[in-house]
Amino acid sequence: MNDKNTHEIIEEDIEFEQYEDAEPLEHVQTSKGGSTGLVLLIVLLVLLLGGGAVYWLYDKLQSSQLHADEQLQQYDGKMSDLSTEVKASSSKVSTIATEQQSSTNDFKSTLDALASKQTVFSETLETIQNKKPKQESDWVIAEVEYLLTVAQQRLSLERDVPTALAAMQGADTKLRDLGNPNLNSIREQLIKEMNALREVEDADISGMVLYIADVTSRVESLPLKDFDVPTLNDMKIPSKEEALAGDWKDVGLSMWGDLIKMVEIKDQEVPDEILFDPELRYFLHQNLQLELTSAKLSVLRRDNGSMKASLTRVSDILQRYFNVEAAPVKTVLEELGKMEGTDLKPSMPEVTQALNLLKAYKKIASQEDQSS
């Protein structure tokens, strides 16, 4: 049975090979019943598997299509909402743009109105400036004349440089604010006079007076000269015990020592007896204070001769009765020496030219007003 089947299969293979090599035939010989059934079974299984696969693929395709449709519907809903929001936002933006344009137009109108008012204000101010009364200018010129007169009087009568300079600076400020070009020559001369006045090395009167007043209050604290009073020990007189233990000369010296103990020694090598007597020292201090006061008054009067004479007498008293090596006395002598070389009346520049020019200008202006 097996051999027969094997033989048949070999024959079928030979025939199949011949069939492949030969030309196509219209009819193909089929195998016998067993082989045909197996082939049909295989074909049927293939068809079933293919159909199942096709159905599975179709089902998956349908599920994917349904899921895609659901997502598309969701996306359509979201797109619809987004479109609605975009439309609302566009409407808001349009409204805001309209409002902004309206605000811009209002702001521009406001600016135009302000510019128009500014123009009117400038024209009004210019008109007011052009119609500025001449009396105001005359009043300012009168103030300048008064300040320059004060400055000249302070310099000529009191030699008060700071006050004169302040008055001249005030006059220059008023001339500058007046803005009249016809007054430039007066202001130019005034500036020259102020510069010349600033170069004056004036004495510090107030500082000198304050220093002399301070020294006057400290006179009693200034140390006097040192002097030595000799004692019995300096005379080398032996005691009684030393005299008894020595020769007859020592006894005589001892008796002389007892005698001189009862005598007050007054003969000393000192500059003046004023150093011993408290009452005389009081008058010394009073005399020194009087000389310092005289020097202070001379400084206030700007009297160079009297100041130097008073300071010279003060220096003589200090050098004769006071300890010139002590720091307080030494410092006072140095400062008083500087004051003696100070010029209380330095030469002052002439500051009348600007005032004369101003008076000439007023005279010419008055003549022009009368002629007009």
pLDDT at 307 over 50: yes
pLDDT at 348 over 50: yes
55 lies in the same domain as 167: no
Higher-confidence residue of 318 and 92: namely 318
Name the pLDDT band for 131 (thresholds 50, 70, 90).
Answer: low
Amino acid 33 reads: G
Name the pLDDT band for 269 (thresholds 50, 70, 90).
Answer: very low
148 lies in the same domain as 159: yes
**Average per-residue pLDDT for the chain:** 76
Residue 134 tokens read as: 């001449």
Residue 127 lies in a domain: no
Q: What is the pLDDT of residue 25?
A: 41
pLDDT at 284 over 70: yes
Lowest mean pLDDT among 168-182, 183-197, 258-272, 327-341: 258-272
pLDDT at 290 over 70: yes
Q: Is the pTM of this model over 0.85?
A: no
Residue 279 tokens read as: 């009452």
Domain final residue pick, 186, 202, 218: 202
213 lies in the same domain as 278: yes
Residue 145 lies in a domain: yes
189 lies in the same domain as 234: no
pLDDT at 278 over 70: no
Residue 361 lies in a domain: no
Higher-confidence residue of 343 and 149: namely 149
- CB under 8 Å, gap of 24 or more: what pairs does 264-267 form? 265/229, 265/230
Name the pLDDT band for 39 (thresholds 50, 70, 90).
Answer: confident
**CB distance 12 to 32 below 8 Å:** no
Place of tokens 């003046």: 272
181 lies in the same domain as 212: no
Higher-confidence residue of 240 and 312: namely 312
d(CA 41, CA 35): 10
275 lies in the same domain as 338: yes
283 lies in the same domain as 317: yes
Lowest mean pLDDT among 117-126, 335-344, 358-367: 117-126
Q: What is the pLDDT of residue 133?
A: 56
pLDDT at 38 over 90: no
210 lies in the same domain as 283: yes
Domain count for the chain, please give it: 4
Q: What are 225-256's pLDDT values in tens digits?
A: 865 444 445 445 445 455 455 554 444 445 54
The boundaries of the domain holding residue 304 are 203-227+268-345
Residue 2 lies in a domain: no
51 lies in the same domain as 153: no
Residue 59 tokens read as: 């089902």
251 lies in the same domain as 287: no
Q: What are 134-173's pLDDT values in tens digits?
A: 666 888 888 999 999 999 888 888 888 888 999 999 999 9
Q: What is the pLDDT of residue 169?
A: 93
% of the chain surpassing 90 pLDDT: 20
Residue 117 lies in a domain: no
Q: What is the pLDDT of residue 134?
A: 62
pLDDT at 276 over 60: no
Residue 78 lies in a domain: yes
Domain final residue pick, 106, 121, 153: 106
Among 98-102, 220-224, 274-278, the range with the most confident prediction by mean pLDDT is 220-224
**CB distance 183 to 219 below 8 Å:** no
**CB distance 287 to 210 below 8 Å:** no
pLDDT at 122 over 60: yes
165 lies in the same domain as 245: no
236 lies in the same domain as 295: no
Residue 240 lies in a domain: yes
Residue 175 lies in a domain: yes
Q: What is the pLDDT of residue 241?
A: 55
